[in-house]
Amino acid sequence: MHKIAMTASAMLIAAAAGAQTPAQNEDFTIEILESLGRVTDASVSPDGKTVLFGISYDNLEENNSNRDLYIVDIKGEKLTRLTDTPKSENSAVWFANGKRIAFMYPDENGAPQMWTMNADGSERKQASFHEGGIAGFLLSPDEKNIVVIGNVKYSRNAGDLYPDLPKATGRVIDDLMYKHWDEWVTEIPHPFIGTFNGATVENLADIMADEPFEAPMKPFGGVESFAWSPDSENLVYVSRKKTGLEYAISTNSDLYLYNLKTRSTKNITEGMMGYDTMPAFSPDGNYIAWLSMERDGYEADKNRLFVMDCKSFEKKDLTTEWDYTIDQFAWTPDGSAIFFIAPKDGTAPVFKMDVKTATVNQLTDEWADFTGLSVIDKNSLVSLRHSLLRPNELVLLSLNGKKGTSVTQLSHVNDGVFAKLDMPTVQKRMVPTTDGKEMLTWVLYPPKFDAGKKYPSLLYCQGGPQSPVSQFWSYRWNLALMAAHGYIVIAPNRRGLPGFGTEWNEQISKDYPGQNMQDYLAAVDDMKKESYIDPARIGATGASYGGFSIYYLAGNHNKRFAALLAHAGIFNIEQQYLETEEMWFANWDMGGAFWDKDNAVAQRTFANSPHKFVDRWDTPIMISHGELDYRILASQGMAAFNAAKLRGIPAEMVIFPDENHWILKPQNAVLWQRLFFRWFDKWLK
């Protein structure tokens, strides 16, 4: 395995190898977006001197992506590439006091396994040999034990019932929760604990062998669902120990404490009814912290930060006075404080909380989002930073007392590309809402913006529905790309988004057609006051809940929009109620079942389903959907398209047979972007 060392100046060229190199002052294009290096997963070495991370690039010709591992010194002066292989290395961590690295990589059969190598990339060896592969691993602090995520069979097929029909493909289903997002549930993940001798994983045993429950929880749970105690004697894992209908209507997960010696398991969050996730022991092992939602069935509830005394099992909510939801956290090495990231006021800053007093200090204050916390000491950590105008780069955060926090960029993977681009500009605008409040709205302006001209514009409708419109960087919904294409982009933090307090976030639940729709229109109406906005050339677009928003606005926009585009949206809420796999979501957000005639909230929701307003549709609409989307089935998009054509509305539809709720394959991603701009350019330019 070869490795390449380089200085920071050479890094700009080498790290962008394979990326499209733009000419000076070139516009930001679809092809440049797709060619950017994607920086992920920062991990600081035990001595605090080196950062391990990954950079992935899409290969448009081969229609795939590949990720390699790099290290950079803590000053950001020297980058070393550790891997250059045909498949992606993922989930890399340090061990052996920083002398070695463990990571995920496919074996000769294509099954993901744990591998190890020296810190310089040499002596690469396969460490795990679990049948069917593993989905992740976590070493114990003493590095003598390991927990890996392995799959066990769950569902039945025809061959199980009738052995004389081994080629029959029918799935036998007798209860709910038989699919997740983009897969039929034929297997579920379980934690397997084994030993590790520094080179090989051995003696793996399923600690939930007799239980038909997921751990971690599908579809997105990973090793963040596990935590080893500092003495390596106990493992905490997350599980929602329910199946079928009970599982489909509940978000009540718990933390389970498993002792390696006694092989006993204790539920340490029994009676806490919402999601309990992301456990983490304090460095001294006296406490465990985790994120906890209060209400069963509400997947977007406030994520509170709890700590528990490991001897008395006494629990304390550190966020009773903190009115924001927490995304991720990490202990300081001395256990006196916790760093965390939370959406707030249109960004996702880093905060520090004193554990004893629960006092919170905001450490960063810039138009940027941070993600990932790799702590060095109580005053410094490494994170990833991105914004509406730049993708992830590694940064070092250093706390300097009264002088505040300094943020030093450590990686420069895409700086060479952006240095040659004319990029849009961003403005924060406070928009008055119809109920007398103010709404933070991000507005992006095209490069070389001229206030004396008239511009087409796009309203961006967020999905989730409760996902922040912060300084996010997306490879699908890239607002900078839209602006670079000549559009003014209007991105409101409408009702139902985190970062503005619990009341603002929760208002949307059971009120899909209500105030948040008025917030969208308020943002458009406010921007129309500007002379540079052409009121005859305004479009609107969004995905998931944003797609629902487009379908609803199609019949309720009163001539504000000249073109619309919806991806993976809900068109018929009654249809959605019975098609989606996670019933807790439908019950909470829609208020209940459509057949419950005495439920006024639910009846209002279903009476305002977008399909009820098709008779008012008068605007060209493009529809996009993936056939592997099991959260919102592609039939929703097809029904909307059929309705538009039957009404004589100009319409276009693109169906991706090999995509889920997102569009992930490189060529499909480029196709989608090209169709996106072809559609809006046709009607707005």
Domain 424-684: assigned CATH number: 3.40.50.1820
- Taking alpha carbons only, the member of 333, 328, 290 closest to residue 310 is 290
What confidence score (pLDDT) does residue 345 get? 98
Residues 446 and 51 sit within 8 Å (Cβ to Cβ): no
Residue among 413, 394, 374, 379 nearest 94 (CA): 374
Residue 180 annotated to the active site: no
Does residue 160 carry a catalytic annotation? no
Residues shown for the chain: 685
pLDDT tens string 46-69: 999 999 999 999 999 999 999 999
| Residues 6 or more apart whose Cβ sits within 8 Å of residue 485 | 27, 446, 677, 681
Q: Where are the domains of the chain?
A: 424-684
Q: Cα–chain-centroid distance for residue 365?
A: 22
Contact 540, 561 (CB under 8 A): yes
> In the prediction, which pLDDT does 156 show?
82
Instruction: Evaluate the CA torsion angle 584, 604, 525, 540 in order and state its sign.
Output: positive
pLDDT at res. 75:
95
Q: Provide the residue type at 336 as one letter.
A: S
**For position 20, what pLDDT does the model report?**
64
Amino acid identity, position 92: A
* DSSP of 423-455: --EEEEEEEE-TTS-EEEEEEEE-TT--TTS-E
Per residue in 401-454, pLDDT (tens digit) is 888 999 999 999 999 999 999 999 999 999 999 999 999 999 999 999 999 999
User: Quick one: pLDDT at residue 507?
Assistant: 96
Radius of gyration of the chain (CA): 25
Tokens, residue 73: 């010194």
pLDDT < 50 stretches in the chain? 1-18
Q: Which residue has the tokens 């903190």?
A: 322
Q: For the chain, how are helix, strand and coil distributed in percent, rounded to 5?
A: 20, 35, 45
User: Looking at residue 251, what is its pLDDT?
Assistant: 98
- The label of the residue with tokens 């993901």 reads 112
Gap between the Cα atoms of 117 and 658, Å rounded: 35
What would the pLDDT profile of 487-523 be if each residue is shown by its tens digit? 999 999 999 999 999 999 999 999 999 999 999 999 9
Contact 81, 89 (CB under 8 A): no
d(C-alpha 394, C-alpha 212), whole Å: 40
Q: Among the options 225, 544, 549, 624, which is catalytic?
A: 544
- What's the pLDDT at 316? 98
Q: Are strands 350-354 and 125-126 parallel, antiparallel or unpaired?
A: unpaired
Residue 567 falls in the annotated catalytic set: no
Q: Give the H or E element holding residue 495.
A: none
pLDDT in the model for residue 3 = 40
Where does 591-650 show beta strands of DSSP type E? 621-626
Distances (CA, A) of 210 to 152, 190, 205: 11, 11, 12
CA 19 to chain centre: 24
Find all residues with CB under 8 Å of 598, minimum gap 6, and list them: none
